Amino acid sequence: MTKPHVKMAKAQGAHAGILPSQGIEALIAAGQVRIPEPLAEKQLQPASLDLRLGTIAYRMRASFLPAPGEKVTDKLDDLQLHSISLSQGAVLETGCVYVAPLLESLALPADLSAATNPKSSTGRLDVFTRVIGDGISAFDQIPAGYNGPLYAEICPQTFPVVVRKGSRLSQIRFREGTSGEADVVDTVDLSVDLSGDKNGLVGYRAKRHTGLVDVDAVASCAVLDYWEPIHVREQKRLVLDPDQFYILASKEAVRVPPTQAAEMVPFNPLVGEFRVHYAGFFDPGFGDETAGGQGARAVLEVRSHNVPFILEDGQTIGRLVYEQLTETPTLIYGRDLSSHYQAQGLKLSKHFK
């Protein structure tokens, strides 16, 4: 296998942008991020905050968004099928839609907006997770000045999962500025690696009808009980079966400087009917040599829609968008916070051994 080409954005001076860890701590101290319980270990990340499930979840008829001025609880009263206590843990079944109030809520100032993503481990389990709030007509986008509760919409796609109060499926980051628009420093295209590692391993395809995955249990599941390894073929291509879930890796290695954060976004929806990277947020220091990394490949969570689709080795499948932080965080990914994914190549979620 050829050595990965390392791409990174150029560091620039600090200005308005994403709040670092100490900025999030200040929001908590000011009551602008409300937490009813003390922060859990590693809940605060270099430029994001993990969000925790509350004590209950609702099985819903369908996914939804509240209308302007409408509360999520109004939709829950109308559309829920039944409620599930999360106090002792509960199973969320595949193909079902659940909504769970989060422990954290917000009282944002007028110049601060927020955005959410699934955590890396959530995306790699193919658990489709989005955050909604009262009167917000978009998923994962919290407008400046929002004051109210947050809810997680959860839909396991491949594996049934066990969750409980305090489980962390999503993370939130805060963006300074009234426009709410990203302060883009640089963009980097990423391509898929189908050339294989030293053993010819290209990726994994998820099995159906597996056992449970406990989202809070590390190294608790045997890989081959849940995944089918995929090895390189002579033509270095992969046919994606419709509605099957794959874990692949980028050909490039990624570095995120401590003064920046990055997000994976779709390259171009016109290049193919497939989705890449449900969990797309990279913290400051990810893969960076100053934080103990030598570049880390982006793990790609891939699903083809409706029709089979052929991926070729080196095909562009996504784009990294780098944003400036308002200042260098006191916590750096991989340096101050150990991580399962810091120097990753092709890697499944932390639940598999």
Q: What is the pLDDT of residue 331?
A: 80
Q: What are phi and psi of 63, to 5 degrees?
A: -70, 155
Residues 198 and 165 in one domain: no
* CA quadruple 255, 258, 263, 268: dihedral sign: negative
Residue 156: inside a domain: yes
Strand partners, 234: none
The terminus-to-terminus CA distance of the chain in angstroms comes to 24
Looking at residue 305, its pLDDT comes to 80
Name the band, by pLDDT with cuts 50, 70 and 90, for residue 319: confident
The confidence score (pLDDT) of residue 71 equals 97
Q: Which residue has the tokens 């594996």?
A: 159
**Short-list 190, 153, 203, CA closest to 303:** 203
* 296, 277 contact by CB (below 8 A): no
Q: Indicate the number of domains in the chain.
A: 2
The 10 Å Cβ neighbour count of residue 66 is 19
> Which has the higher per-residue pLDDT, 289 or 253?
253
What is the average pLDDT value for the chain, to the nearest integer? 88
Torsions phi, psi for 226 (to 5 deg): -125, -20
> Is residue 217 in some structural domain?
yes
Say whether both 171 and 25 belong to one domain.
yes
pLDDT of 9: 40
Residue 39, domain member (yes or no):
yes
Q: In terms of pLDDT, which residue wins out, 285 or 43? A: 43
| pLDDT score of 225 | 98
Please give the helix or strand (H or E) that residue 310 lies within, else none. strand 309-312
pLDDT at position 125 is: 95
Residue 338 lies in a domain: no
Return the biggest CA–CA distance within the chain: 59
Residues 30 and 130 reside in one and the same domain? yes
Q: 251 and 145 share a domain? A: no
pLDDT at 338 over 80: no
Q: Are residues 25 and 172 in the same domain?
A: yes
Residues 250 and 254: their CA atoms lie apart, in Å, by 9
What is the 3-state secondary structure of 237-269?
EEEECECCEEEEEEEEEEECCCCEEEEEEECCH
**Are 262 and 256 within 8 A, CB to CB?**
yes
Q: How far is CA 207 from the centre of its chain?
A: 21
Q: What is the mean pLDDT of residues 41-70?
A: 96
Is a pLDDT exceeding 90 seen at residue 228? yes
Greater model confidence, 182 or 98: 98
| pLDDT of residue 264 exceeding 90 | no
Domain range for 132: 21-176
Indicate if 199 and 147 belong to the same structural domain. no
Domain of 292: which CATH number? 2.70.40.10
Q: What is the identity of the amino acid at 263?
A: E
pLDDT of 153 above 70: yes
Domain check: are 137 and 192 in the same one?
no
Q: What is the structure's pLDDT at 16?
A: 74
Same domain as 195, residue 72: no
* Confidence check: pLDDT of 345 > 90: no
- DSSP code per residue over 77-128: HHHEEEEEE-TT-EEE-TT-EEEEEEEEEEE--TTEEEEEEE-HHHHHTTEE
Q: Is the per-residue pLDDT at 24 higher than 60?
A: yes
319, exposed or middle or buried, with CB in 10 Å at 0-12, 13-18, 19+? middle
Q: Does 211 reside within a domain? A: yes
Residue 185 is predicted with a pLDDT of 86
Domain stops at, among 127, 155, 176: 176
- pLDDT of 14 over the 50 cut: no
The answer to whether residues 266 and 141 belong to one domain is no
Cβ atoms within 10 Å, residue 245: 23
**Residue 26 within any structural domain of the chain:** yes
43 and 165 in a single domain? The answer is yes
pLDDT at residue 295 above 80? no
pLDDT greater at residue 40 or residue 8: 40
Q: What is the pLDDT of residue 57?
A: 98
* pLDDT score, position 183: 74
143 and 108: one domain? yes
122 in a structural domain: yes
Residue 243, pLDDT > 70, answer: yes
User: Which amino acid is present at 4?
Assistant: P
| Helix (H) or strand (E) segment spanning residue 77 | helix 72-79
Average pLDDT for 288-295 = 62
Q: How far apart are CA 39 and CA 319, in angstroms?
A: 32
Asked whether 150 and 72 are in contact (CB, 8 A), the reply is no
Indicate the pLDDT class of residue 18, thresholds 50, 70 and 90. Answer: very high
Q: In the predicted model, what is the mean pLDDT of residues 311-320? A: 90
Is the pLDDT at 160 greater than 90? The verdict is yes
Structure tokens at 304: 């083809």
User: Does a structural domain hold residue 342?
Assistant: no
Q: Does residue 97 share a domain with residue 51?
A: yes
**Which of 132, 157, 176 represents a domain boundary (last residue)?**
176
H or E segment to which residue 214 belongs: strand 213-214
Reported as a pLDDT band with limits 50, 70 and 90, residue 335 is low
What distances in angstroms separate CA 39 from CA 1, 76, 151, 339, one per listed residue?
42, 28, 18, 18
Residue 181, CA distances (Å) to 36, 136, 170, 177, 246 in order = 30, 16, 21, 8, 31
